Amino acid sequence: MENTSTVESAKQKLNDWLDKGIIVSGNKLPSERELEELLGVKRMTLRQALLHLEGESKIFRKDRRGWFVALPRFNYNPSSATSFKQAAIEQGRLPSWGYLTKERVRTAAPNILALLGVKEGDALYKICGWGALDNHKVFYHETFINAQVAPDFIERLGEGSFAEAWETIYSKKTHTKHLEFKPTRFSGSACKGIGGTPGTPSIRVKKYRADEADKIVQIDIEYWRFESVEFFIDL
């Protein structure tokens, strides 16, 4: 077992580099082999120090690409009418997003079917994608939409946002009807979608959006990088 003081010493040296801006936010840390040499420690000691800093939201991992310095936290109110794009721009951040898959499916988890008012075998849309800040992907989402409520949604969405599609194409104003937050780890799909690693700390957000009649029309399941966001809700 590694000496606790040795791990703490390695962690402190890394922390000093971060605090002094020697490696700036969003940039990649040297490889683990280089860090071992720079710090004069063994691989196990280094790995524990890095995991401590990850737990403190100072750094994050990208699958097969190494460790990166955490970006400033994004302050986000998921219940607000303000979109992810607009909130990011207001905070001086560069937002971007992309869709990985858009498909028409005929099955989903029973609770999703029930909430959307869809029977097993009826059509619904499943859209998977990611959102990024300053060219770093910070969340992965799986979105479900009742195909009867929004015909041809996946064809008409293009690369635009859901909020814009609902309002401009379907003349529906949607609002957040329900939110759930849970600290967890990245799912396998999230790892593939935004380049995380199994076990990466995450915040899972379940969000139900409803129309003017308060009928649920969209369900989002999001996995956010733990260090990337600070959620708040105005009461």
Could you tell me the CATH number of the domain that includes residue 216?
3.40.1410.10
Tell me, yes or no, whether 12 and 80 share the same domain. Answer: no
Q: Of 3-12, 30-39, 83-92, which range is least confident? A: 3-12
Among 69, 84, 107, where does a domain finish? 69
Average pLDDT of the chain?
90
Which residues constitute the domain of residue 29?
4-69
Tell me, yes or no, whether 37 and 119 share the same domain. Answer: no
Please give the pLDDT value at position 1. Answer: 45
* pLDDT, mean of residues 115-127: 93
Tell me, yes or no, whether 61 and 94 share the same domain. Answer: no
Tell me, yes or no, whether 10 and 120 share the same domain. Answer: no
Tell me, yes or no, whether 129 and 220 share the same domain. Answer: yes
| pLDDT classification of 76: cutoffs 50, 70, 90 | very high
Tell me, yes or no, whether 127 and 225 share the same domain. Answer: yes
SS3 string, the chain, reads CCCHHHHHHHHHHHHHHHHCCCCCCCCECCCHHHHHHHHCCCHHHHHHHHHHHHHCCCEEEECCCEEEECCCCEEECCCCCCCHHHHHHHCCCCEEEEEEEEEEECCCCHHHHHHHCCCCCCCEEEEEEEEEECCEEEEEEEEEEECCCCCCHHHHHCCCCHHHHHHHHCCCCCEEEEEEEEEEECCHHHHHHHCCCCCCEEEEEEEEEECCCCCEEEEEEEEEEHHHEEECCCC
